[in-house]
Amino acid sequence: MLSTEIAATVKKENQINYTTFEWKNGRRLANDQDVAYILPSDQTEVDRLQLNHNLWKLFKSPIHNKLVKGIRVLDIGCGPGWWTLDMARLYPNSQFIGVDMADVFVTENKPSNVEFRLLNAGTSLDIFEDESFDFVFQRFLVMGFSTDQYIQSVQQMKRILKPDGAIEILELVNEYGHAGPAFKNINQWINEALVARGMDSFIADKISGYLQDAKFKNIQDINYDVPIGAWGGQAGELFLAIQKMALPAVKVMVTELTKVTDEEYEENLKEAYEEVEKYQVSTRFRLIYASK
């Protein structure tokens, strides 16, 4: 017979409404009113996310020694699971759970200390018990959570963290530095699309405040300006390759949620790629970590 604790968890998992998807203009998109995420979830996006993962180091939180000894880690919105898999191989004594609404998990040669779960992190983190994780990681959900869901996610992370557990969030700011006319258009169009879905282009600038409101401690907030193009060296070339996959994906939401046409977007995109060297365009990110 199941214990009361296990039975409650099974009941909650059985109540999860799994996300449905549809194909539009050759891209696989979520088709669910509870899902705020408005980028595609398909193989092309999986490839982009791998490049994105390669651009960033694994973590900044001072938690290496605990990971070596063995702790329980949650990766929220893990996508294919690149971060989860790399961390699990690096820290075999720790247990890793990656959750995402789309079943795009990379399971080939998956380490035994990795588990992937299919769920909408914007609505279903309550399936996890109080104080059940030592480290919670979340990356790039500015286009995945509505503002309300983002705030709720911070509160849920606080609940499921053990005392003295750590949280780390890496987030994109919808702001191109030194933008030319074409990139300024993209900034504006993305913002319009996000607002239409109850999202905030600049939520990254508010995360530290959300953590303070949730009574997190030792909050560290780091700004990054990442170059786009050869002018920025190896990192700039890699990020340009990422942009050349990301911006066509962004077109799906821009043309769906604003008055911008496919033709207008494509013409503007050509001009944007020409601006990266002329203006030395960059993108801003924020990495925030704290402890409970």
Q: Average pLDDT, whole number, for the chain?
A: 86
Please answer whether residues 210 and 154 qualify as being in contact, where contact means their C-beta atoms are separated by less than 8 angstroms.
Answer: yes
Using CA atoms, how far apart are residues 114 and 112, in angstroms rounded to an integer?
A: 6
Percent of the chain residues past pLDDT 90, beyond the cut? 71
Place of tokens 């769920």: 119
Beta-bridge partner residues of 169: 138, 288
Overall pTM surpassing 0.85 (yes/no): no
- What fold characterizes domain 4-173+199-227+284-291? Rossmann fold (3.40.50)
pLDDT at 7 (0 to 100):
35
- 3-class SS of residue 175: strand
From the centroid of its chain, how far is CA 181? Answer: 27
For the chain, domain boundaries: 4-173+199-227+284-291
Residue 231, pLDDT score? 97
- Helix (H) / strand (E) element for 292: namely none
Residues 232-258, mean pLDDT to the nearest whole number: 91
In this prediction, residues 77-85 reach a mean pLDDT of 93
Is the pLDDT at 8 greater than 90? The verdict is no
- What percent of the chain lies above the pLDDT cut of 70? 83
